[in-house]
A and B are shown apart, each in its own frame.
Chain A
Amino acid sequence: MSADERVLTYPIPNDAALDPPAEWAELRARCPVAHVTLPSGDRATLLTRYKDVKQVLADPRFTRLLNAPDAARLTADGGGVFSGEMAAIIPDGGEEHQHWRRLVGRWFTAKRMNAMRPAMTRIAEDLVDDMVKRGAPGDLRASLGFPLPVYVICDMLGVPAADRDRFSYWSDTLLNLTRYGKAETEAAQGEFFQYMSDLVAAKRAEPGDDLLSELISAGGPEEGGLSELQILVTGMALLVAGHETTANMIGKMVAMLLADRSRWERLLADPSLIRTAVEESLRFDANAGFGLPRYLTAEIEVGGTILPRGTTVICSMAAANRDETVFANAAEMDLTRSPNTHLAFGSGAHSCLGQALARTELQVVLEVLLRRLPTLELAVPVEKLERVEGLAVGGLREVPVRW
């Protein structure tokens, strides 16, 4: 059977926690436009070359919405974050999308992120202190990676600290494609929806200095603002998008830097490399999860192949980020790589809204860890690190460390 005819199972099974599956290099070289079978049994088209992934992601005509009748379902019960009624409430294209993005985007500027840096640093320091108090070995994922982004996003949304753990659970049920059944996912969505309705009502009655209050103060759609439902779903979407992605990336970044401890030592010797080290961690992450699906509403040519209208494409940014034709020594983690034009946050009009937030959180975590715990090391051999299964976002189950 030739490479073109075979149908791969997607996600591609891979036991190694930090290394890419062997199939990526093979696909980029011989079968850049590949047929795959999704967990639902539906067929889709997988892209692995940098140029192709970027072309589709940057094309504003194609979006994440998979609710067309002929779109591939990711899982058998069709659940998950990429489908369903809620995904359709935030405008996903054209001027309406841009309007939404700009209303929310003011909360994610570089300047605002810099202003949030001292508060983030304090959160990170407190979490590290708590981990140290509990004694080594500790789990960096549970102690620092998971709590930090949810605390930060809860602060942005004006959610009381006491409710952070519930947010964490709701976010997990929405992003996990296989761990929870449809009933549990729907129940969690219902609770989350109710919570956010109450929160938006509370902010309307008593505005605070937070994102939800400001979206409310912009008025309704007729005044250039968002509808009640859009505000509510925006709050939910920001939590889901801003939590588990960054939470897992914190654990993976630290694991990658400690897997070869000369990387950690290099950063200790020269902390000015933190910024480029974060970018390289994002590029090098081979356990990035599902990738981004796109439903083609028009025929396009990708990598010399015509893809008909109605095709569901899976863009593997992680495979594209290892493309040797774009990144010299792509299989090496180079903490000084610059410019680093990785696609971890996508590309174009739909690229990650919260990328400046994620970057700042990752930089802060790294800065605090290097300063507070210079002797940090993995408490298990790299081979013992295990992947989280079933998430749209890839991660490690635990990141055991000592110091």
Chain B
Amino acid sequence: MKVIVDEAKCCGAGQCVLTAPEVFDQREEDGVVVLLQPAPAEDLHAAVREAAAMCPGAAIRLDEDA
């Protein structure tokens, strides 16, 4: 799985950080998403899918085949 984040679409809601803190963080200065793991391990995939589904800005895209 490959995770792609779109900073321009990020609205800083922090849902991804709450759902998958191993994979996502927020910048201190403005709350914009920081991708910690672009290719997360399999045991994190469920949480990452949930984070992508919950993102209010639709700023998280997943490439499941990568």
Q: Do A and B bind each other?
A: yes
Whether B17 lies near A348 (C-beta < 8 A) is no
B13 neighbours in A (Cβ, 8 Å): 345, 351-352, 355-356
Q: Is the CB of B26 within 8 A of A348?
A: no
Q: Are B56 and A351 in contact (CB under 8 A)?
A: yes
Per-residue A-contact encoding for B40-66, CB less than 8 Å = 1, 0 else:
000000000110011011100000000
Number of chain B residues close to chain A: CB under 8 A:
24
A111 to B30, CA, bound (A): 12
B31: which of A109, A275, A349, A350 is its contact (CB, 8 Å)? A109
Chain A's nearest CB lies how many Å from the CB of B44? 15
The digit string for A332-364, where 1 denotes a CB below 8 A from any CB of B, is 000000111100011111111101100100000
Determine the distance from Cα of A332 to Cα of B53 in the docked complex, in whole angstroms: 21
A349 to B30, CA, bound (A): 14
Structural contact, B11 and A110, CB atoms closer than 8 A: no
Whether the pair A356, B14 counts as a contact (CB closer than 8 A) is: yes
Number of A positions contacting B (CB below 8 A): 28
CB atoms of B12 and A349 under 8 A apart: no
A109 to B58: give the CA distance in the assembly, Å.
17
Measured CB to CB, the nearest residue on chain B to A107 is B31
Contacts from A to B (Cβ < 8 Å): 58, 101-103, 105-106, 108-111, 113, 275, 338-341, 345-353, 355-356, 359
Identify 17 new A-B residue pairs, CB closer than 8 A, beyond the known A105-B32, A347-B56, A351-B56: A58-B58, A101-B12, A106-B27, A106-B30, A109-B31, A110-B15, A111-B25, A339-B53, A341-B53, A341-B54, A345-B56, A348-B57, A350-B11, A351-B13, A353-B11, A355-B13, A356-B18
12 CB < 8 A contacts A-B: A105-B31, A106-B31, A109-B17, A110-B17, A110-B26, A339-B53, A340-B54, A345-B13, A352-B13, A353-B11, A355-B56, A359-B18
